[in-house]
Amino acid sequence: MRNLPNILKAKLESRIQNNALRQLPLGNNLTDFASNDYLGFSKSELIFDQTHRYLLDNAFVQNGATGSRLLSGNHNLYSIAETFIAEFHKAESALIFNSGYDANVGFFSSVPQKGDLILYDELCHASIRDGIQLSYAKAYKFNHNDFEDLERKIINFNGNSNQKASAIYIVTESVFSMDGDIPNLEELVNLSEKHHCYLVLDEAHALGVFGDKGQGLVQEFGIQDKVFARIMTFGKGLGCHGAAILGSQELKQYLVNFARSFIYTTGLSPHSVATILIAYQFLEKENMDIELLRENIIHFNQEKNLLGLEPIFVRSKSSIQSVIIPGNEKVKSIAKQLQERGFDVKAILSPTVAEGQERLRFCLHAFNSKDEISNVLQLLSTFVFGPQI
């Protein structure tokens, strides 16, 4: 088998030298502060059993979709699930994609057109940025959660006849995946309406966490009719796989015709779509896990304040809590010490985040105990500040 070209070897060597080489982790039995399974749905035996029963009761005895949804893969479960999802989120329509990455790439590569403008938060997820790179529209980032900077850019483009956009898309996340912080969505809606922009929100880390039934932040603020498109990802709070784009019926029809990551891929299996449906039904009926998660978020914030850790944490009221520990070597060392003591906390290294913004990312769950949270933070305080004398 042929070796890698030298230029690729050099890139790998650079990662090794910078202590930033990515490797696939092995499974472990540590206390989970790393996964995105915020409600514990991925391990729910009830969801597993009810999904299996639903498939048998409705005669869905089929392992795969058999083709793309435009050919042979559009089994009846898709229509059932998309109708339920649209009603749950108070949207005209929902279109299921195979993953959040596919949804973002499909949307941003096909919807904004040449002559349009995309203004996106500088900390938007890689899948959004990759989709934007495939678009023919011009794109510029604005400073993180800085709507004065965003408005300056809108006014600059609208006031210049040589570069005035046909349509302007404002793109951000309702909960940011690395910082766990939340933009002022009401202010953002007002700004988008003032300048007649199309607002697009990725709710990947809000689904299952915010809203009285985990519907997300858009519905918690009641602004669903003022958002052009929402991307709901199921691999976090829903504990399964896939994603949906919520919007108008016209948007759904457009995506079916022009989103390449939807058109040119095999659909999800009936089992995958049934799992999505049953998980949504659990959100509709069960609120206990959401309440437990919220209590744990409050407890985490209280404990970090008591231990004097607040200054080094990014301010967050979400299930993502990040402590900034600059330097790949140092943050990896502290993560390893926590793991050796039984806590699965992951280090996020540059270049995934900017150099100097390396961090430990704590993901909180409904199933974490108060003692686990207190103990891991006590250890963190010891490793960062040294033993208390």
Is 53 within 8 Å of 248 (Cβ atoms)?
A: no
Average pLDDT over residues 347-374: 95
Rg (CA), the chain: 22
Q: pLDDT confidence of 352, banded at 50, 70, 90?
A: confident
pLDDT digits (tens, 9 = 90+) for 89-144: 999 999 999 999 999 999 999 999 999 999 999 999 999 999 999 999 999 999 99
More confident residue, 387 or 137: 137
pLDDT of 115 reads: 94
- Do residues 346 and 335 touch, judged by C-beta distance below 8 A? yes
Residue 158's pLDDT is what? 82
In this structure, CATH architecture of domain 28-41+287-381: Alpha-Beta Complex (3.90)
Average of pLDDT values for 300-324? 96
User: What's the average model confidence in pLDDT over 293-308?
Assistant: 97
Percent of the chain residues topping a pLDDT of 90 = 91
At residue 251, the pLDDT reads 98
Which residues neighbour 214 within 8 Å (Cβ) at sequence distance 6 or greater? Answer: 39, 207, 208, 237, 283, 290
On the question of pLDDT at 20 being above 90, the answer is no
Q: For 197, left (φ over 0), alpha (ψ -120 to 50), or beta?
A: beta
Mean of pLDDT values over 315-337: 95
Q: Is the dihedral of CA 342, 343, 349, 352 positive or negative?
A: positive
pLDDT in tens, 136-167: 999 999 999 999 999 999 999 887 666 778 99
Prior bond to 387 cis, omega within 30? no
Give the start-to-end residue ranges of the domains of the chain: 28-41+287-381, 60-285
Q: What is the mean pLDDT of residues 301-315?
A: 95
Mean pLDDT of the chain: 95
Q: How far apart are CA 220 and CA 338, in angstroms?
A: 35
Query: Mind listing the pLDDT tens digit for each residue in 30-79?
Result: 999 999 999 999 999 999 999 999 999 999 999 999 999 999 999 999 99
The confidence score (pLDDT) of residue 287 equals 81
Query: Per-residue pLDDT for 387 more than 80?
Result: no
The single-letter DSSP state of residue 26 is: P
359 confidence band (pLDDT: 50, 70, 90):
very high
Going by pLDDT thresholds of 50, 70 and 90, the confidence category of residue 25 is confident
Q: Which of 4-13, 152-161, 245-254, 262-271 bottoms out in mean pLDDT, i.e. has the lowest? A: 152-161
Question: If you average pLDDT over residues 278-293, what whole number do you get?
Answer: 93
Alpha-carbon distance of 319 to 329, in angstroms, equals 26
This prediction has a pTM of 0.94
Other CB atoms within 10 Å distance of the CB of residue 201: 28
Instruction: Give the model confidence (pLDDT) of 193-205 as tens digits.
Output: 999 999 999 999 9
pLDDT above 70: percentage of residues in the chain: 98
Read off the pLDDT of residues 208-243 as tens digits, 9 standing for 90 and up.
999 999 999 999 999 999 999 999 999 999 999 999
CATH architecture, range 60-285: 3-Layer(aba) Sandwich (3.40)
Pick the residue with more confidence: 163 or 187?
Answer: 187
Residue 179, Cβ density class (10 Å: 0-12 exposed, 13-18 middle, ≥19 buried): buried
